[in-house]
Amino acid sequence: MKKKTIVIAVFTPLLTFSTYILKAQITTPTNISPAGVPFVGWNGTGVSRSLVIRNNFNRSIEWYTDGGLFRKMVLNPDLTGQNVNGYGGLDLSGFFGVGEFSGGMDYSDPAARVHANGGSTTDLGFRPMMKDGFLATRGESLFYGGLLNNTESGIVWSFRTLPGGSPPVPLKFIYTGDDGTTSVSTGIDGLELGRFQAHVSNDHGYFGIGDWTNSLGGQIPEERLDILDRTIRLRAFAASSLVDWENSFDRVLVADPLDGTVYWRDASTLGGGGGDYDWEVIGSDVVSGHGTSGFPSNSVGIGNVAPKCKLDVLLQANPAGYQPIAICGYNSSEVDALNIGVSGVAIYRNCDPSQFSPQTYIGGSFQGLHAEYNFGVQGVANANPVCSNSKQNIGVYGEANGASTNWAGYFNGISYLGGVIIGSDQALKTNVSGISDALGMIDLLAPKKYDFLVNDFPHMNLPDGMQYGLIAQDVESIIPELTTPFTSPAVYDSLGAVVTPPADYLGINYIGLIPILIQGIKDQQEQIDALQTIVMDCCSSFDGMQGPNGSDGGGLNDMNSKQSELHQNRPNPFKTNTRIDYDLVADGNVELIITDINGVQIEKLVNKTQSAGSYSLDWNTEDLSPGIYFYSLIVDGQLWIKKAIKIQ
């Protein structure tokens, strides 16, 4: 191989500029470094020599790109008494830097054993304890991992923040495993397993476990240990060698139901007055949590010295911060006539109406939360196929009475009913009479289309989109019996505070409109039949309606049978299009006229002279409203009439 001659220029300690001829031959084993001269090459003879890069003067060794304009790596010489971020007397000797370092930057020289600098704009995160480790800086961010003060191991990160601004950037722990499937860890952000988060004050901080990067609402840790989801598991609790501390500690862990924060609490503050209320065996196999004797056998009472059922919980005074819930459960029996699984009663003990307060009492409250399918209450009633005496199954039974307004079932939102049966037996009724003036009432009703104010009344779960119906106040002025005032109950939070107060509204019994509509149709049909009779009588008296040979033809029907014929439209009833057929026995002037139920002409489909034969035409009623129409065929003064019914 050829030797490379490299000309280098260095400053001597006497500040005189000298030029050295550097012999570099890194591929020849016999190359030997000249004494006292900067050198790059394979120093010494033999086959196991190292590549040597040497600067005999105390100057840095630097690497450049782009024609020597940009320094990309640098190895510090002996460099003591330096200043970084206001900290003086620092020894930066032998530190290696990758990136940009110059006198005009915050880091003019590498500040740690290995320093990667991507263009730092501040050195405020640097501390003198960072030395033997890896330091990365860019912009206002800093990361260091290594020894602290040459003894302890540690990780340091920093980001410049303004007082009172956003929370500082966290230190994240991210897993980016890829098993060939689509998962969080294979995404561009990876799977965050945890993070350290400094408080905005920069005076303290937190550690959070979980994928905070993909959390809803951009949550961040806000406690010393903050678990985003799942829970904790203490496996030592299952160990038989675990020391029993039952009689040594008197504190318990409690969780705030609003945000899950865990606190210590004195066990004596949980109730019971500080006495010993251990569970004890009553009789043969039943335990009791009450500190007094005299229990009925096979029962448990909490807060009640005389339980009335298998588990009887009595709540008389509600401590601050607790939900006012009492539970009473009943087991079923094979011999009793009435078997109840769970019974809940919420009762105001003072029955004086003047003492009532605006509160809501709920006998049982059940919730299904946070699953793909949630059921607040599921009622199932099935007969045992082995039993032959089951007569009726009721999944959910509701009963309400005694108030000004009673609802056996109140469903706040859209409800699905597979089938509805309303009690209408004659044995249940009195004062039965017919409905008069049905058409008059129907004529006064004003159907509307509208949208509910969904956003103004979110607690009522009103349906979205265009709706069709009636205004309750309009119906009340016409048929007041079909309207009912109702109260939308108050909405409470988990502590019993009112979120939405109760409000009064007016509802409509739409089912009650059905008999009125039926009677209206019957009344209307009577009017139609009467009009048809009038029309037939009128037409039979026309002079031009004689039968053949000048006879009177025996009326319209007889005339139709001997002369031309108008057929019934098909289909009938119809929605949009229907076909009208007619036959002409002779040439003549033909008119085919459409009229409404009141005899008003709608349109004339034919008005011309036609030859004898059969004719068929399609009648398009797209622009007509549903209802009853008549179509009339007039041939040389002779008349035929048929009825057509258009439906929705």
**Nearest CA to 107 among 76, 133, 78?**
76
**Nearest CA to 614 among 559, 567, 561?**
567
Sequential DSSP letters for 545-560: G--GGG--TTSHHHHH
So what's the pLDDT on residue 257? Answer: 82
Dist. CA 424–CA 342, nearest whole Å: 32
Dist. CA 176–CA 184, nearest whole Å: 8
Dist. CA 481–CA 472, nearest whole Å: 11
Strand 498-500 versus strand 491-492 pairing type: antiparallel
Dist. CA 462–CA 459, nearest whole Å: 8
In 240-391, DSSP assigns E strands to 251-255, 262-266, 280-282, 286-288, 300-302, 311-313, 328-329
Residue bearing tokens 């939405």:
500
8 Å CB contact between 174 and 186: no
Residue 210 backbone dihedrals phi, psi, to 5 degrees: 135, 175
So what's the pLDDT on residue 214? Answer: 86
Residue type, 288: S
Between CA 140 and CA 143, with CA 141 as vertex, the angle to 5 degrees is: 150
With 0-12 CB in 10 A as exposed, 13-18 as middle and 19+ as buried, what is 324?
Answer: middle
**Nearest CA to 569 among 521, 527, 630, 623?**
630
Dist. CA 340–CA 316, nearest whole Å: 24
DSSP count for the chain of H helices, then E strands: 4, 37
Residues present in the chain in total: 648
Dist. CA 567–CA 583, nearest whole Å: 8
Give the number of other Cβ atoms within 10 Å of residue 78's Cβ: 10
Spell out the alpha helix ranges (H) of 405-459: 438-444
Residue bearing tokens 């109260």:
487
So what's the pLDDT on residue 541? Answer: 47
**Nearest CA to 191 among 225, 215, 169?**
215
Dist. CA 555–CA 125, nearest whole Å: 112
- 3-class secondary structure, 467: strand
Question: Mean pLDDT in runs of 10 for the chain (648 residues)?
Answer: 42 41 49 60 63 81 78 92 94 94 84 94 93 94 94 92 79 89 88 93 92 87 90 66 60 82 80 49 44 53 66 64 53 54 62 58 72 79 68 81 80 80 89 87 91 91 93 93 89 80 92 92 81 62 41 40 82 91 94 88 93 94 89 92 86
8 Å CB contact between 78 and 101: no
So what's the pLDDT on residue 279? Answer: 52
Q: Hey, what CATH topology would domain 542-646 get?
A: Immunoglobulin-like (2.60.40)
Q: Which positions ≥6 away from 259 have C-beta within 8 Å? A: none
Structure pTM?
Answer: 0.41
**Nearest CA to 220 among 171, 160, 156?**
171
Peptide bond preceding 515 in cis form (omega within 30 of 0)? no
Q: Which positions ≥6 away from 109 have C-beta within 8 Å? A: 60, 74, 76, 79, 82, 92, 95, 97, 101
Dist. CA 532–CA 643, nearest whole Å: 9
**Nearest CA to 564 among 547, 549, 552, 544?**
547
Tokens standing for 133?
A: 């480790």
- Residue spans of the domains in the chain: they are 4-159, 171-227, 302-333+340-346, 433-515, 542-646
- 3-class secondary structure, 107: coil
Tokens standing for 298?
A: 């096979």
8 Å CB contact between 30 and 24: no
The Cβ-side half-sphere exposure at 555, using a 13 Å CA radius, reads 6
**Nearest CA to 117 among 104, 136, 133?**
136
Q: Which positions ≥6 away from 460 have C-beta within 8 Å? A: 412, 488
In 202-306, DSSP assigns E strands to 205-209, 225-227, 251-255, 262-266, 280-282, 286-288, 300-302
CATH of 433-515, one of 1.10.630.10, 3.90.1150.10, 3.90.76.10, 1.10.10.10: 1.10.10.10
Three-state SS for 496-532 is CCEEECCEEEEEECHHHHHHHHHHHHHHHHHHHHHHH
**Nearest CA to 629 among 540, 528, 507?**
528
So what's the pLDDT on residue 594? Answer: 93
Peptide bond preceding 573 in cis form (omega within 30 of 0)? yes
